[in-house]
Amino acid sequence: MSNIIQVGMADMKIARPPDKLMTAGLGSCIGICIIDKSIKLASLAHIMLPSSVQAKNPQNRAKFADSAVDMVVEEMQKQGASVSRLQAKIAGGAQMFKFSGDSDIMKIGARNAQAVEEALKKHNIKLLASDTGGNHGRTITFDPETGDLLVRTIGHGERVL
């Protein structure tokens, strides 16, 4: 029996086949999917913000790009993954609102994407594919069996990374 494990906002889950990981309605948030293909262990973290450094409440590590990647690496290692085999795919980081004027809310998606890429680099995790930016939401499903990342949108089609 295969389950689809839902990952909420600022949350992280780990799964093995036949289960799949899913997070719905990514806007400026980013879904970070990391897999160790040789043992078919996969994780999905739904981060909201780029950095935990200035945060008043960094306890929830899955909320921030930097601490979420640290957390994923630790947790996946505990379950037998090797950091050198980890590979990543990411999606999200859109700009949902058209604003005239200059506001931080506009740039959060792009800042998130950049922070995720830096955090992956820090751990030498290879970024295999990414679907970030634009101005549309994304619902993603990550399959630990194949490593495929299905990205669904409203009005911008579907694709597999």
Segment contacting another protein by CB under 8 A, of 25-33, 79-87, 113-121, 122-130: 25-33
Nearest to 96 by CA among 136, 138, 131, 153: 136
DSSP conformation letters of 104-124? HHHHHHHHHHHHHHHHHHHTT
> In the stretch 119-138, what mask flags binding to another protein with x, by CB under 8 A?
-----------------xxx
Name the one range near another protein by CB under 8 A: 12-20, 55-63, 81-89, 114-122: 55-63
Q: Which strands, in side-by-side order, build the sheet including 138-142?
A: 4-6, 20-26, 138-142, 149-152, 158-160
Site residues (CB under 8 A) for another protein? 8-11, 24-29, 48-49, 54-57, 60, 63, 94-101, 103-105, 108-109, 136-139, 154-155
